[in-house]
Structure 1
């Protein structure tokens, strides 16, 4: 079974989306940051509903509406409390974390399940399911928006396992 990896591009001041979920801030940096290595290890996505339906950093480009800007194609599992929309090819909608993680792991096989969205990352940490966190720090200060992790409670201990440029990967210690 593959690992659960929460990944995000993040501003230097800790935000993965701007105010109101704005992802337009990332557009100037998408050419600088390659997610090819990450995309190659991903077998399925576990995505929050806001992330799935939200702003697209690739808006107006050929990568719009595609995971990793078109650098990856495969099964997606979307966690949602709202009724699922009409069928979307390659997308499964689940209402519980347990159901969503099981579906994403089954779809990924031995490959990595890439967790996208701050809320889903947080609940995976709280449930003790998250194996790793990868953050690509971007050279910008947003000043507000959606934080990488916004949670009260005890600290979550991490161990650095890889660093390449401003990309940092940590193992979640249990």
Structure 2
């Protein structure tokens, strides 16, 4: 079965979204990235937080990319973790239990990655010992406020093993494995 991967773009000061979940900052930092292009082909399913699913879109206003995973670069089954499930649609299933969502997403992904989207879902997966890897694209910008990559008041020490680092003009890609 595939691995659970949290992939995210983050500002240099540790924010993945601006205040109120604003994703407009990200638009100018999206661009060709061979690591992301390769990853998209290795994703079998998405596990998405409800706020991320219904939130701000960095491709807002770009007709052919708005509202689509990876700006339209990926299609497939999505599992949205929410306290208020709704009826499923063609590729979107709403689930109210983390373990159930992960199990269903992994089954749908087969031997490919389940890509986690959303800081809170990633934090929950990490706390439950379910997250396998983290890919962070660090963008050259300081946001100063917003949604943190990993916010756990009171803290916890999560050990990571660096798997790779690569650079593109608009980001530094850092891939880690979660050490258990």
Shorter-chain TM-score tier? over 0.9
Listed as ranges, the matches of 1:1-174 within 5 Å are 1-33=1-33, 35-61=36-62, 62-84=64-86, 86-151=87-152, 152-165=154-167, 166-174=172-180
> Secondary structure at the residue paired with 2:41?
helix
Rate the CA distance shift 1:135–1:56 in 2: closer, same or farther, 3 A. Answer: same
State the shift of 1:33 in Å.
4.2
Query: Separation in 1 of the partners of 2:19 and 2:89?
Result: 28
> Secondary structure at the residue paired with 2:116?
strand
Query: Separation in 2 of the partners of 1:89 and 1:145?
Result: 33
RMSD, aligned α-carbons: 1.1
State the shift of 1:87 in Å.
3.9
Query: Separation in 2 of the partners of 1:83 and 1:102?
Result: 17
* 1:77-114 C-alpha deviation (Å, 9 max, x unpaired): 00000242x54320011000011001100110000000
State the shift of 1:137 in Å.
0.4
Query: Separation in 2 of the partners of 1:87 and 1:101?
Result: 16
Give the gaps of 5 or more residues in structure 2. none
Give the gaps of 5 or more residues in structure 1. none
Query: Separation in 2 of the partners of 1:90 and 1:110?
Result: 18
Rate the CA distance shift 1:79–1:51 in 2: closer, same or farther, 3 A. Answer: same
Q: Under a length normalisation based on structure 2, what TM-score does the superposition of the two structures give?
A: 0.93
